Every structure is written in C-alpha cells, then in structure tokens.
Amino acid sequence: MNQLSRSAESLGDMGNPVSSHRMTYWLLTPGVLWSAVFLFIPLMVVGVISFATRGTYGGVIWQFSLENYRDVWHVVYARIFGQSLVLASLTTIICLVLGFPLAYYIVRLSPRWQAVWLILIMIPFWTNFLVRTYAWMFILRTEGLLNTLLLGLGVITTPLDLLYTDKAVLIGLVYGYLPFMVLPLYATLERLDPAFVEAAQDLYANQWSVFRRVVVPLTKPGIIAGCLLVFIPSLGAFLTPDLLGGARNMMVGNLIQHEYLVARDWPLGSAISLILLIIVIAAVVAYFFVEPIRSRQELEP
Amino acid sequence: MADPILELVSLVKRHGGVLAVDHVSFGINRGEFFSIVGPSGAGKTSVLRMIAGFESPDEGEIRIEGRSIRGIPPHRRPVNLIFQSYALFPHLTVAENVAFGPKMQGMATGDIQSRVRDVLDMVKLTRKETRLPAQLSGGEQQRVAIARALINQPAVLLLDEPLSALDQQLRQEMQGELKAIQKRVGISFVCVTHHQKEALALSDRLAVMHQGRVLQIGTPEEIYGNPDCRFIAQFVGNSNELRGMLIANEGGSGLFRSHDLEDGQSIRVHVSGDVESHKPVAFVVRPERLHLSETIERSAFENSLQGRVEKVLYLGSELQYTIQLSRSVQWTVQVSCLSGRQKVWPVGTTLFVQWQAQDGLVLPL
C-alpha cells in the first residue's frame, strides 16, 4: 500500500512538468510556424533560384548552374560588396561614437527627462522612412538647407557637393540607424550599478580609466547588440543609397534590387542575396565563437 | 585627541531642503576602529560618502593628516571605501580586482603581484585568485572587498555596512576577523552601520547619529553603560523606561517618582549629569541589570517593584521575562541561564523586580 501510494505520487510529480512542457510547446507553435512559413520557405525558394538559369526575357529556367555564384566575383560586384562593407562599418563606428555619450547622458537624467529623451529619439519612427530620406535630400542638395546655412554663415565660399556622394549615404545611414544603437546602449547602461563606477574612482581610476576598464567591459552586451543592430541593416540598405547616393554609389541592397527589378536576372539577384546573408551570419557567428575564447584568455593572470 | 588622522569639522550636508548632516564634528585617531551607528536616514552614509569624495559638504571641512581635502576628487583621496554591495568588478578575477588600485596608481607589475599575494594571503583567499566574483560565496566576496581596499594602504579605510549582506553565523565570524585584520594592519577604520551590536563588538570608539546629528561619542562601554539621552538608551541595546520626575537629588543620589506606577513608589537613582529636579525626565535601566525573585532582598538591592510574569521567552543562553509592573508599564528582564537547572517562573507568577541604584539612569526627555 505504502509503496503503491509512493509510486502514484512520483507519477503525479512527473505528470505535472510533462503537461506544462506540452503547454509550452503549444504556445511556441504559432511563432515557430510563422517563422517557418514566412522566413524559411521564401529563403529556400531564393536558394533554389540562385542555382537556376536566367531566361532570355527575364524568367527563370529550371536548369542547375553555378554560373550565378561565379558571376558574383566579377570586379564590379566585388567593389559594391567592398563599398557596402566599408559604409556599414563606418556607419556602425559613427553610431557608436555618437550613441554612447548620448545614452550615457540620458541614463544620468531624472526618470522624467529620460522618458522625454527616449521619446525624442523614437519620434522619427512615427514618420515614414522614405519621407525622412527625402527631407535629407532637401537638406543636402547643392542649394539645400545645409549649404545655404554654411554659405550664409561664411563658413564656406562654394557649396559643398554632398548629395549623390557616399558621404550623403553615410549621413543618411547614421541618421537612420542611430536609435538602434542608442536604445540597447541605454538599456545596459541603465542597469549598470553606479557603485561600480564609484568603486573604480575610489580605487584611483581617472575618468578615462573608469570608462575603459569598467563602463565599457560591463556594457559590452549592449555595445555588441547595438553594433549588430546597426551593421546588419546598413549592410543591406537600399533606400538610403538609392535616394542619397544616386546611381554611382550602389550598395549591395541596390545591386540586389537592380538584378531583380531592372536587369530581371532573378538567379543572380538570389545568389547575391544569399552571399550577403552568409557574410552577415559569418560575422555574427565569428563574434560568438571568438569572444568567449578571448575573454577566457583575458582571465589568465 | 592626540594624533587625529581624520578630522571632520562642523560638516553640513543638505539633500533637497532636508538637513541630512547637521554640523557633525569628530576626529579619528591613528589605528582606531571607529564606528558611526544610527538608524537608517541618520545621515551616517552621507558622512562616509563625503569622506570618500562622492558627495561634497555644503559647509565645514574634512582634514586628513591635518590637510583639508576640499575639492580633491575621489580618485586622488588617500581613503578607500568598502561598499555595502562590495561592488567587485564582475568581469575581473579576484587577483585583478585586488590589483586594480595599485595598477591605477601606476605601480610596477612585479610589485603589484607580490602585494596582491600578500594581501590575499592575509584574507585567506590565496587559492581563489583566478576566480570571478560570481564564483565566490558571500563571505569570500567580502574578503576580496577588504583585500582590494587594504592593498592600497589608505590613511583611512571606510566601510559601509560591511557585514550586512552576510547571514548571522558568517557575520559573527567575519566580525572577529575584521577586527583582527584591523589590528594587524594598524589602519584607521571608519565603519558605518545600523547594527548596534556590531558597532559595540568591533569599535574602539563609536559615534551615535540620529537625524543628522552626532548625539554621543565614546567607547562601547561608555555608550552602552552611560548613554547621554533616551534615544541612545533605546537604540544601543534595550532599555526599560519610566516617565516621571526627580523629587530629590543630594550629591548624586536621588529619588525618582513616576505616576505610571500605581502605588506611587519612589525609586533610588544615581544622578550623574545635570538633571533638574521636579521636571519631567525618564528613568532607564538595562534588562540584564534587573534581578527577579519571589522575596524582597533589601540588603542587595535598593530598589524593588512588584510585578506579574506576562511572557517568558527561552533564548538558550538566557530567559527573557516580560513583567507587568502596572497597568501601563511593562519591563523586560533578562536572566542568564548560568546552570542547566535554571528555575523558570510560569506566566502569572507574582515576583519582585530588583536592582541597585547605580544601575539606573535618569535622562532628560
């Protein structure tokens, strides 16, 4: 009897977690299905097309070929890839340099002013990105706001050639993605215990050392999150380079769009898309693999 | 004061409109373990943070070895603070945490290493050098915090509620160790705590703070045995109290009478300060100075009051009786369990609470 009831108890113990696990799976299903249907399937389609052949009038001929992947290494495409990587990296660095002091400043404000600043940072999202990019065209063009202002102030004597250059693209990208840097930085800085900063000061660290040896290492997750959130979308950006960079300053995003919609070469466009995806994944994976090893080495005395 | 290493001169700090620190002055001697004790909000942490340099006083001055440290930022002050949360850098190992101060001061790597070894040896953490703070127990983290501060050989070491994060057992163990370390290194410690027992156990001298002011400074024996005011009598240890007035006072030996005692009995007291007769005052006596018995022993005790046992708590080393002396007066009496056959009077027993005149104090209201 005793044994029986004990085994019944243990059955009951097991029953509960199992049923709650089952519940968890049910709750996971919609999200997983959504991702599967709307992410993996289209991605598979793109993958398949990238190995097909372009038809004479733009269609896809289902004939296996590695031609597209060979074409990608053409010098023109490689240059666009290179320029995109440079622009995305610069965007990330500038956003970090601008975003860190901004986030650091916001965290030190009273909760009320923190809210005000965060809303100010997010307000641009309330308007369409296209409209905001047009606004930048108005600012950057030869007779635009910026040149008029600088000429009026006597800072420059001839108008700056900004619009339709890679500088304009960079400005546009930094403008567009700065909030994605500031918000994760704000989130980690906000959680940073002020006692760590004070402890470092108490242990003779000057402001720079406090920043470098305590604040940066302890907010690394936010820095990484911000950098990924800026780097990845700016690498694939096409609206900003299209409107602000003109025809001469293509990025990978424009190239893909061009292959799909203008050249009507879907297979090549698909191949470029996949290579872009692989670069991004490689960057992220490399980070996650390299980082723990490096930090372990740092720990050795 | 012979040779003060740290002096606070009429320090004032306002937070908003509130006077958080109200003209606080005291000096701390070389090699002294000094505690500032008081309830939360007494301003003691503010005093500590002003010494460390994280807050600046609105008035007054702080001097270290005779020199004012006004305007000197925290990272150039010859003091170190042990934070209540320890604030160990989570991304650095034990050794790196401890080495942080000397490294920031630009000491040579070889010197740092040998110093780190010495100081970790002193706090018995030699084998944990390569651990991260998160891999240590609470007591070990506390030791790292001590080592990280001591390695700099500060003029004064500041401790903010140093043992509050530890459980009871560990806390007592660390108390002994902290005191031993302090005596060994000979550095002046200034410790802020709301834990009065800890302050009594650790300190050479202590200051009691309340509402921004220092009420009394003295040795633990002075503070406990001869509190200046009712607040200290209540806050440091426990006290039984009666309200009433002195009806006679002749050369330190006085008579006290309270309306709260129904039979209007008077109590013989020893009057030390200048307490005026016929003005409302409080009479206080410590629970362990009281003696319980079934009969009056006039030869041993000048005072005796009759009461009824209301509650008995057995605390292992002692019995704690609550005695109802009158309708409105309840006193606590502690009886040490000196032998295993200590007699326990049950609830309802009528007893005499007795004590010597010199054990009671009369304090202004």
Percent of chain B topping pLDDT 70 = 99
CA atoms of B175 and B195, how far apart (whole Å): 12
**Interface check A208 vs B, CB under 8 A:** no
Look at residue A285 in the predicted model and tell me its pLDDT. Answer: 85
Percent of chain A topping pLDDT 70 = 89
Amino acid letter at B343?
K
For the ranges A20-24, A69-73, A126-130, which has the lowest average pLDDT? A20-24
Residue of A nearest to B52 (CA): A202
CB B192 within 8 Å of CB B161 = yes
Strand pairing partners for B27? B7
Between chain A and chain B, how many beta carbons pairs sit less than 8 Å apart? 68
With CB atoms and an 8 Å threshold, state whether B52 touches A300. Answer: no
Residues in chain B: 365
With CB atoms and an 8 Å threshold, state whether B80 touches A299. Answer: no
B85 neighbourhood in chain A, CB within 8 Å: 193, 195
For the ranges A43-47, A218-222, A252-256, A294-298, which has the lowest average pLDDT? A294-298
CA atoms of A252 and A233, how far apart (whole Å): 11
Question: Does the structure show a pLDDT above 70 at A290?
Answer: no
Q: Which is more confidently placed, B184 or A290? A: B184
Mean pLDDT, to the nearest integer, of A240-269? 88
Percent of chain A topping pLDDT 90 = 48
**Interface check A143 vs B, CB under 8 A:** no
Q: Which of A195, A198, A204 minimises the CB distance to B104?
A: A204
Taking only the tens place, the pLDDT of each residue in B17-55 is: 889 999 999 999 999 999 999 998 899 999 999 999 999
Q: What is the nearest CA distance from A166 to chain B, expressed in angstroms?
A: 40
> Residue B279's pLDDT band (boundaries 50, 70, 90)?
confident
B132 neighbourhood in chain A, CB within 8 Å: 299
Report the candidate in A221, A219, A226, A140 with the shortest Cα–Cα distance to residue A178: A226
Which of A191, A192, A203 is the mutation pick for testing B, counting most B CBs within 10 A?
A: A203
Q: Which of B75, B87, B91 minimises the CB distance to A204?
A: B75
Question: Does the structure show a pLDDT above 50 at A301?
Answer: no
CA atoms of B210 and B235, how far apart (whole Å): 10
Amino acid letter at B218?
G
A196 neighbourhood in chain B, CB within 8 Å: 87, 89
Look at residue A1 in the predicted model and tell me its pLDDT. Answer: 41
Following DSSP, what letter does each residue of A233-253 receive, concatenated? HHHT--HHHHHHHTTTS--HH
Look at residue A299 in the predicted model and tell me its pLDDT. Answer: 45
Which spans in chain B are helix H?
Answer: 44-52, 94-104, 109-122, 138-150, 168-185, 196-202, 220-225, 230-235
Look at residue A9 in the predicted model and tell me its pLDDT. Answer: 46
CA atoms of A72 and A274, how far apart (whole Å): 11
Look at residue A286 in the predicted model and tell me its pLDDT. Answer: 78
With CB atoms and an 8 Å threshold, state whether A199 touches B89. Answer: yes
CA atoms of A80 and B298, how far apart (whole Å): 106
Taking only the tens place, the pLDDT of each residue in A165-200 is: 889 999 999 999 999 999 999 999 999 999 999 999
Look at residue A4 in the predicted model and tell me its pLDDT. Answer: 45
B53 neighbourhood in chain A, CB within 8 Å: 201
**Interface check A217 vs B, CB under 8 A:** yes
Which of A193, A197, A204, A219 is the mutation pick for testing B, counting most B CBs within 10 A?
A: A204
Taking only the tens place, the pLDDT of each residue in A14-53 is: 445 556 777 888 888 998 899 888 988 999 999 999 999 8
With CB atoms and an 8 Å threshold, state whether A201 touches B75. Answer: yes
With CB atoms and an 8 Å threshold, state whether B83 touches A195. Answer: yes
Question: Does the structure show a pLDDT above 80 at A2?
Answer: no
With CB atoms and an 8 Å threshold, state whether B129 touches A301. Answer: yes
Look at residue B11 in the predicted model and tell me its pLDDT. Answer: 95
CA atoms of A49 and A46, how far apart (whole Å): 5
Mean pLDDT, to the nearest integer, of B168-183? 91
Mean pLDDT, to the nearest integer, of B343-351? 91
Q: Give the orientation angle of helix B138-150 with respect to helix B168-185, to 10 degrees.
A: 20
**Residue A112, Cβ neighbours under 10 Å: how many?**
7
With CB atoms and an 8 Å threshold, state whether A203 touches B148. Answer: yes
Sheet holding B280-285, edge to edge: B266-270, B253-257, B240-250, B280-285, B360-364
